[in-house]
A and B are shown apart, each in its own frame.
Chain A
Amino acid sequence: MITLNHYLVLSALLFAIGTAGVFLRRNLITVLLSIEIMLNAVNLTFVAAGRQFAAVDGQIIVFFVMTVAAAEAAVGLALIIALFRHRESLNPDAFTSLKW
Chain B
Amino acid sequence: MALDTVLFYAFAGITVLAALFVVVQRNPVYSVVLLIASFGGLAGLYVLLDAPFTAVTQIIVYAGAIMVLFLFTVMLLNVPREDASEFDRAHPLNRPGARRFGAVLVVLFLIEAVWAVWHVSGRETAALRATDPGSVASVREIGKVLFTDYAFAFEVTSLLILAAMVGAVVLARHRAE
Interface residues of A (CB under 8 A from B): 1-10, 12-14, 16-18, 20-21, 24-27, 29-30, 32-34, 36-37, 40, 43-44, 47-48, 50-57, 59-60, 62-64, 66-75, 77-82, 84-85, 89-91, 93-94
Contact = CB atoms under 8 A, between A and B. Distances in A.
Contacts of A50: 51, 136
Interface of B: 2, 4-5, 8, 12, 15-16, 19-20, 22-23, 25, 28, 31-32, 35, 38-39, 42, 45-46, 48-51, 53-54, 57-58, 61-62, 65-66, 69-70, 73-74, 76-77, 79, 82-84, 87-88, 91, 113, 116-117, 120-121, 123, 125-129, 131, 135-136, 141-142, 145-146, 150, 153, 157, 160-161, 163-165, 167-169, 171-172, 174
Task: Tell me the interface secondary structure of chain A in the complex.
Answer: helix
Contacts, number: 210
Given A25-B82, A59-B54, A66-B58, 6 more contacts: A50-B51, A69-B66, A74-B69, A74-B165, A75-B167, A78-B172
